[in-house]
Amino acid sequence: MFLLTETNDTSDSVSSTVTDGFYQPIKDYVKMNTVNSKQYAFATIFMRDGSKTSFKPKYPNFANRKHTHSEEFVIEELEDFISRNGPMVETVYIYSYNSPCLQRKGGVQPCMFMLMQKAAEWKEKYNILLKVGFTKFWVPKCPDWFEELISTLDSEKFKDYRFKLDYKNLADKFKKSPIFSLLSQVDNLEKNTLFDKITSTRKDLLDLAQSLDNIGLRDDLLLKGEQLINSCKCSPIVRDEFCRILLKEWSETVNNSFEKDIKSKIRKEVGHAVILLFMDKLRSDWRNSFPLKLYRVSSPLQPNDNDVQ
Ligand SMILES: [Zn+2]
């Protein structure tokens, strides 16, 4: 079931007409596209005579130097439609998977402000109401100093922080690993055995990194990998180096995953707080008279949303 609420209100405060009009196209779109966390946006227009027009989803275009966000394509399409049919239009619904951005590079106006401007313009000209729904909170880009700040976090203070290992990060490290150079240090007779040992140990580590119960504390995750690596039996000529390389790759993966997880969590919380503050400000400045209303649309059909609840 879809849940449609105003962003700072957990009650189902919208009328059934609005709910039907808003989320049916989203449901249809999601059904057609299965799980898709890629950004997209589309509009549905309700006319004063009771009819409605839905437009196809638009995707951002990052191919050019000037990036175009999906909401910009939607606005362009709406501009064209409203310039021809403005007096007939009653309400415009826009759904954007991520909430419209509040920050752009190169002096480009953020989508949220473009939408606010359009909402005011369409209200004044044709008395149109604009309703914007989103599922994920837009997340601001972080400055370089933020990256540095995270890398200097006192890990002792985060020793109770649980996170999931980044399996892909470990797989990437294995691709670039120097470990197979150890084969040149053993006799021909032992080469095959060592090759098999390297391959099977790496597979065990990847399985460990991927296992579902592997959301854990940093020290525990480090220890699990260490135990697995240290229990390996291979030629004593290369054993120290064999363990050293694998331990390095494992511990770097644990530390990278820890940093990545914390960064992502902080960015999401900042993004969430910024949007809620923005809506609060909008409400206190305009009370209920502002022609743009923002809704949070939560859809369990998109499991990737779980991390932003
Ligand atoms: Zn944008």
Residues 8, 89, single domain; the answer is yes
Q: 266 lies in a domain?
A: no
pLDDT digits (tens, 9 = 90+) for 34-50: 445 578 888 889 899 98
Residues 110, 74, single domain; the answer is yes
pLDDT digits (tens, 9 = 90+) for 90-112: 999 898 888 899 888 888 899 99
pLDDT digits (tens, 9 = 90+) for 66-95: 789 999 999 999 999 999 999 999 999 898
Mean pLDDT lowest for which of 9-13, 64-68, 189-193? 9-13
Residues 153, 253, single domain; the answer is yes
Look up the pTM and report it: 0.64
- Distance from residue 24's CA to the centre of ligand 1 (Å): 24
- Distance from residue 113's CA to the centre of ligand 1 (Å): 9
Distance (Å, rounded) from C-alpha 80 to C-alpha 100?
20
- Distance from residue 138's CA to the centre of ligand 1 (Å): 9
- Distance from residue 274's CA to the centre of ligand 1 (Å): 15
Distance (Å, rounded) from C-alpha 273 to C-alpha 59?
26
Range of the domain at 223: 144-261
Sign (positive/negative) of CA torsion 277, 39, 306, 147?
negative
Residues 22, 102, single domain; the answer is yes
CATH code at 77? 3.40.140
Residues 123, 157, single domain; the answer is no
How many CA atoms, within 13 angstroms, populate the side-chain half-sphere of residue 36? 17
- Distance from residue 139's CA to the centre of ligand 1 (Å): 11
The residue assigned the tokens 């090759």 is 195
Mean pLDDT taken over the chain: 80
Based on the structure, what is the number of domains in the chain?
2
- pLDDT average, residue stretch 281-305: 65
Q: 284 lies in a domain?
A: yes
- Distance from residue 72's CA to the centre of ligand 1 (Å): 7
- Distance from residue 60's CA to the centre of ligand 1 (Å): 9
